[in-house]
Amino acid sequence: MFSIAYLGRGGQGIVFAATITAEALYEKGYYVAQLQNYGASVRGGSVLGYVVADNKPIKNPFVEVFDVMIALHEEGLKRWKCLVEKSKKIIVDEKLVKSEVSGAIKVPLSSIAEEEGVYQALNLVAVRLAFKVLGITGIDEVMDKLLKNRKNYDLNKKAYMIGKEIVIFRDFGTE
């Protein structure tokens, strides 16, 4: 069993990140459970989206200790501090996350995304990064299919592939 959580803010596509992660893993044959937490307002507010996957049916989707959490915004991080602190690995956006979390790996995700002109698809950068960190291989093809069925394929695809290239300063294994 492994688990990955995305944290952020309304408008960043956090739920979509979790959705597409779940779908990709599902297509790969995993049992998956995807949950999310967001406010009632249409924009702003913290958002959490996560996925648990396993080779056998998921017993309990209520995860306390995630294998990886990726925080794309301060709001999400603050709200779920309790989970973040327990997380096995925590990756935060260097710019958009302000508070210090011990053990967190800072990555300039949003800066890279902005540079590359895929700021609006930052979520997909995170998705690819998540797969990388979790050591999930052979998933790009599936993702490509899933992205093709959605709007903004080119942008999304570009962002997604950027995630593959992100260099992080700790070794999470290789693909």
Partner 1 sequence: MSGHEHPSLKYMRKEVLPTAFCPGCFNGIVMNALFQAFEELEILDLKKYVFVSGIGCSSWIPSPYIKADSLHTLHGRAIPVATGVKLANPDLEVIVIGGDGDLASIGGNHLLHAARRNMDLVVIMINNLVYGMTRGQAAPTTPKGMITPTTPYGNPEEPMDVARLLASTNANYVAKWCISQYMFLKNSFKKVLGEIKRGFRFIEVYAPCTTFVIRRENKTPGQKLKELMNTCIGLEKLEKMPREERTKYIPTGVFKENDKPGFIDNYRQYVSISKR
Partner 2 sequence: MSKVFTVEVNGLLCKGCGICSEICPRGALVMDGVNSETGYPNPKIVGECVGCKLCMWFCPDQAIVVIKKG
Partner 3 sequence: MCMKRMLISGNEAVAYGAIDAGCRFYAGYPITPSSEIMHMMAKLLPEHGGVFIQAEDELAAINMLIGASWAGLKAMTATSGPGFSLMQEGIGYAVMTETPLVVVDVMRAGPATGQATKAAQGDLMQARWGRHGDQYLVVLAPESPQEAYDLIIEAFNISESLRTPVVFLSDEFIGHGREVVFRKDPEEIQLVERRRPSDHEPLFGSDDPRIPPPMPRLGDGYYVLVTGSTHNEYGYRDVHSFETHYRLVKRLKEKIWGNIDKIFKYEVVGDPEGAEKAVVCFGSTCRSAKEAIEGMDDVVLIRLITLWPLNYDLLRKLLSNVSLILVPELSLGQLIYDVQQVVDSDVKVIGVNKVGGGVPIYPSEIKEALKG
Q: Which residue ranges make up the site for partner 2 (CB under 8 A)? A: 11, 43, 114, 119
Binding-site string for partner 3 from residue 1 to residue 40, where x marks contact by CB under 8 A and - marks none: ------------------x--xx--x----xxxxxxxxxx
Give SS3 for 71.
Answer: strand
* Interaction partner, residue 114 (partner 2, partner 3, partner 1, none; CB < 5-8 Å by kind): partner 2
Q: Record the tokens describing residue 92, joined without a space.
A: 């935060």
Which residue in this structure is represented by tokens 């952020």? 8
Number of residues that bind partner 3 (CB under 8 A): 25
SS3 string, 123-147, reads HHHHHHHHHHHHCCCCCHHHHHHHH
Give CA–CA dist 37/108, Å, rounded.
25
Give CA–CA dist 110/71, Å, rounded.
11
Give whichever of 110 and 131 is closer to partner 3, judged by the CB atom.
Answer: 131
Give whichever of 45 and 54 is closer to partner 1, judged by the CB atom.
Answer: 45
Q: Does 79 engage in binding with partner 3 (CB under 8 A)? A: yes
Q: Which amino acid is at 114?
A: E
Give whichever of 46 and 156 is closer to partner 3, judged by the CB atom.
Answer: 46
Task: Compute the least distance from the CB of residue 71 to partner 1, in Å.
Answer: 22
Give CA–CA dist 91/109, Å, rounded.
10
**68-71 vs 46-54, strand pairing mode:** unpaired
The DSSP symbol for 104 reads P
Q: Does 58 engage in binding with partner 3 (CB under 8 A)? A: yes
Contact residues for partner 3, defined by CB under 8 A: 19, 22-23, 26, 31-41, 45-46, 57-62, 64, 79
